[in-house]
Amino acid sequence: MQLDGLTTPEKIDQKVASFCRRLSSQAPFYVNVEPELWSRQSTCEMNVQKLIEQIGGSPVIGYKIWYLKNKYIEAERHVIHFLDGAYRDPTFNTDGEMTVLFVPDKNSITGYDARPLKVREGFTQRARQFVAIKDQEEKFAVQLSNEDSWDRMLTYERWLAGERMANMWLEPVS
């Protein structure tokens, strides 16, 4: 199954709303993506922490929602920034999307790493098979330390200049 078209939901339809209710008692909302040139790809927790060090505010832990209408939906563990009543996502998306649908996590006690990296649901037989395959693949994904991620991942400045890289690495099974 190809995920061409996987994107931020255009609207919160019944499937999106139902999926989000499984993740949180709070309603999902749209957030603007406003990265700094120093922001790193796939390092949302560190991007938010650096922004807090610079301007204040607090982190909001939850999930970014990706959707292929009537076929597949995915929640990706994510952190956004909150300051003076406004939410902001300082982490750029590799596809260039500048708005994301975010749902705060219902469990605010545990930390970021205690949450699953992804929560998926397939609405068709083919999409359910895809979910099973992706969930299995991610068991072999390399989890970099925060320091290694910060050192290795692209900055927004480099991404704007045309550089690209994968969000995660898979290790071969030995």
Domain ranges of the chain: 14-167
Residue 75, phi then psi, degrees to nearest 5: -110, 125
Q: Return d(Cα 165, Cα 144) in angstroms, integer.
A: 15
Summarize pLDDT for 30-60 with one digit per residue, the tens. Answer: 999 999 999 999 999 999 999 999 999 999 9
Q: CA torsion 116→117→121→126, rounded to 10°?
A: -130
Q: Return d(Cα 112, Cα 89) in angstroms, integer.
A: 16
Q: What's 47's DSSP letter?
A: H
The half-sphere exposure of 172 on its side-chain side, counting CA atoms within 13 A, is 1
Is pLDDT larger for residue 7 or for residue 113? Answer: 7
Summarize pLDDT for 117-157 with one digit per residue, the tens. Answer: 899 999 999 999 999 999 988 887 777 888 999 999 999 99
**List of residues 6+ apart from 79 with CB closer than 8 A:** 44, 45, 47, 48, 59, 60, 61, 62, 91, 112
Q: Model's pTM, two decimal places? A: 0.91
Is pLDDT larger for residue 170 or for residue 54? Answer: 54
Question: Which pLDDT score, from 0 to 100, does residue 169 have?
Answer: 59
Question: Which pLDDT score, from 0 to 100, does residue 106 have?
Answer: 67
Question: Which pLDDT score, from 0 to 100, does residue 173 have?
Answer: 46
Nearest to 55 by CA among 30, 35, 84, 79: 84
Q: Return d(Cα 73, Cα 6) in angstroms, integer.
A: 8
Summarize pLDDT for 64-94 with one digit per residue, the tens. Answer: 999 999 999 999 999 999 999 999 999 999 9
